[in-house]
Amino acid sequence: MSNPRNALAQQLAEAVYQALSDDLERQDKVLLVVSGGSTPVAFFAALAQKPLPWARVQVTLADERWVDAQSQDSNARLVREHLLIGEAANAEFVTLTTSDETPEQGVDEIARRVEPLAWPASVVVLGMGGDGHTASLFPDSPELGLAMTTDEALVAVRTPSQPQPRITLSAARLHQARRHFLHITGDDKRAVLGSAMGGDDVRQLPIRAFLSCPLAIYWAP
């Protein structure tokens, strides 16, 4: 019997492939925004197999941890190892870190780096944590209010619940995308999503900010 999480990853890869292909009929370049964490690995592997004109695909991250590119915690490393393989290595990948000590020091440079990309993004694939965070929009982050309201593309965030400082695309920049997908697995996250649907306090469960994008939910046990 096929593993439901692998099947989900295949279905999501097919949907993202179709979306990017549609936009590539009208645009020279298309932008795909992906999330980090552990869930996207099988999705990345499935998407990397798709026959896209990868040199016309730009990839960036919804958020990043302020760590070295080689760190096990680096979302860029995850993308490089699992998505940018084979033909997909021809994609243009724009990372969200600099050699600065802190994301506050690097954020302006990264903003200049991402600005020439083909916004609005064709696709944003979000993940979600057990606390209802998505991208690096965390309930316990003092910068959550700013990240939810600013017109800037990026916000440096400090989150007591997380070991490293982070940088995140703002809610406005994520919202702007043409299509939004949520990729989650497990009963716990399903329950969190259920709670998110039953209320409207974005500060409590930041994923709520994206429920009406509309958000295509890809869930498996």
Ligand X SMILES: O=C(O)C(O)[C@@H](O)[C@H](O)[C@H](O)COP(=O)(O)O
Cβ distance to ligand X smaller for residue 60 or 75 = 75
**Should residue 159 be labelled a site residue for ligand X when binding is judged by CB under 6 A?**
no
What does the alpha-carbon distance between residue 197 and residue 42 come to, in Å, rounded to a whole number? Answer: 27
Identify whether the C-beta of residue 206 lies closer than 8 Å to the C-beta of residue 138.
yes
List 135, 153, 182, 196, residue binding ligand X (CB under 6 A): 135
Find the helix or strand (DSSP H, E) in which 57 lies.
strand 57-61
Q: In terms of CB distance, is 75 or 97 closer to ligand X?
A: 75
Determine which residue in the list 9, 12, 32, 36 makes contact with ligand X, applying CB under 6 A.
36
Query: In this structure, what is the dihedral angle of CA atoms 23, 27, 28, 33, given to the nearest 10 degrees?
Result: -50
Does residue 132 bind ligand X (CB under 6 A)?
no
State in angstroms the smallest separation of the CB of 38 from ligand X. 4
Tokens of 106: 């690097």
Smallest separation (angstroms) from ligand X to the CB of 197: 18
In sequence order, the 6+-apart residues with CB closer than 8 A to the CB of 128 are: 134, 182, 184, 189, 192, 193, 207
Residues within window 39-68 making contact with ligand X, judged by CB under 6 A: 39, 62-63, 65
Nearest to 189 by CA among 37, 41, 76: 37
Minimum CB distance to ligand X, residue 24 (Å): 25
Task: Give 103 or 129: the residue with its C-beta nearer to ligand X.
Answer: 129
Q: Is 122 in the site for ligand X (CB under 6 A)?
A: no
As a whole number of angstroms, the distance between CA 173 and CA 16 comes to 19
Tell me if 170 contacts ligand X by CB under 6 A. Answer: no
